[in-house]
């Protein structure tokens, strides 16, 4: 099977898994994101671990899983807002853990663990709130989740095809030589048109809110792609993993989601209530 066919088949299964779990409800979607959180944390730790830098594997996995679970449980109404306070002591357990590990770079290890949790577990936990378009006070609905993913995917798809056809001017050559301003403009157009269409399907947000959301996703999603490229370039690797045939690792697939989600969360809270 050639690379294009492999990529396409993987993308189809990926979309089915994400969309299908969202349609099946918040509980099913939370389980899928929990699995993705753990696999992504494992991927991150694997690529940053060296002879000198060794973030604590199990403490990072456990704290990241707990942080995600607390946010998801709060988003689903299973725990009160006070329950979010439990995140604080668990995070500081990472500092205590290094006392017994006797490694040469304890604070580098702590920093890498905190980066993993902040970069991966926190955004995916916040994504669970997207089922409520007005954050903690509105009706349960999957439309915001599907809209968020659709805008991200169409932005990425539009940027790829337009960039391949007419891309000439490099967007950020030092980090990602393949990205162009023309491709980014094409992706933005795809994303904004998608948001306009979504406003007729999912009316939890009005057309202006959807289009502003698309602009925010285009900017932060593109930056998220660049941040993950910066990570890989700093480590001298091409892909973050190989769990997704033709696409690389989960971090390669979720790079835009991870950086965009916190910004979208704040936007929904401040402007869509």
CA 110 – CA 95 distance, rounded (Å)? 6
Element containing residue 177 per DSSP (H, E): strand 176-180
Q: Which residues of 92-125 are buried (b: 16+ CB within 10 A; e: fewer)?
A: eebeebbeeeeeeebebbbebbbebbebbbbbbb
Q: How many other CB atoms are found less than 10 A from the CB of residue 266?
A: 13
Q: What is the pLDDT of residues 238-269, one digit of tens each?
A: 888 888 776 788 999 999 999 999 999 999 98
Buried b (16+ CB within 10 A) or exposed e, 201-228: ebebbeeebbbbbbebbbbbbbbbbbbb
Give CA–CA dist 156/164, Å, rounded.
12
- Burial class of residue 152 (count of CB atoms within 10 Å of its CB; 0-12, 13-18, 19+): buried
First to last CA, the chain: 48
Residue 179 has φ and ψ, to the nearest 5°, of: -85, 140
Q: Does 144 have pLDDT greater than 80?
A: yes
Mean pLDDT throughout 200-207?
Answer: 91
Cα-Cα-Cα-Cα dihedral sign, residues 224, 226, 227, 228? positive
| Beta pairing partners, 176 | 172
pLDDT band at 167 (very low <50, low <70, confident <90, very high): confident
Which pLDDT band, with edges at 50, 70 and 90, does 136 fall under? very low
CA distance 252 to 40: 10
Answering whether pTM is above 0.85, one says yes
CA proximity to 214, closest of 139, 147, 124: 147
Q: Where are the domains of the chain?
A: 1-23+142-273, 26-141
pLDDT, one tens digit per residue, over 55-110 is 999 999 999 999 999 999 999 889 999 999 999 999 999 999 999 998 889 999 99
In the predicted structure, residue 133 carries a pLDDT above the cut 70: no
Q: Does 15 score more than 70 pLDDT?
A: yes
């Amino acid at each position: 099977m050639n690379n294009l066919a492999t990529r396409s088949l993987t993308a189809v299964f990926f979309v089915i898994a994400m969309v299908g779990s969202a349609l099946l409800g918040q509980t099913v979607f939370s389980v899928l994101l929990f699995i993705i959180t753990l696999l992504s944390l494992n991927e991150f730790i694997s690529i940053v671990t060296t002879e000198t830098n060794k973030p604590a594997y199990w403490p990072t996995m456990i704290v990241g899983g707990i942080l995600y679970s607390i946010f998801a449980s709060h988003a689903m109404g299973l725990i009160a807002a006070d329950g979010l306070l439990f995140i604080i002591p668990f995070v500081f357990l990472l500092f205590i853990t290094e006392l017994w590990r006797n490694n040469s770079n304890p604070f580098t290890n702590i920093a890498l663990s905190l980066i993993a949790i902040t970069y991966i577990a926190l955004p995916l936990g916040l994504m669970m709130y997207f089922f409520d378009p007005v954050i903690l006070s509105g009706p349960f609905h999957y439309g915001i989740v599907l809209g968020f993913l659709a805008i991200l995917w169409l932005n990425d798809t539009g940027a790829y095809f337009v960039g391949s056809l007419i891309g000439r001017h490099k967007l950020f050559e030092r980090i990602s030589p393949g990205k162009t301003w023309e491709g980014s403009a094409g992706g933005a157009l795809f994303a904004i048109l998608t948001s306009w269409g979504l406003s007729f399907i999912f009316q939890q947000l009005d057309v202006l809110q959807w289009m502003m959301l698309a602009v925010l996703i285009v900017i932060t999603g593109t930056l998220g792609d660049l941040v993950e490229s910066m990570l890989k370039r700093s480590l001298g690797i091409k892909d973050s993993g190989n769990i997704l045939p033709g696409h690389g690792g989960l971090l390669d697939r979720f790079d835009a989601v991870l950086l965009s989600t916190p910004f979208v969360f704040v936007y929904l809270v401040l402007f869509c209530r």
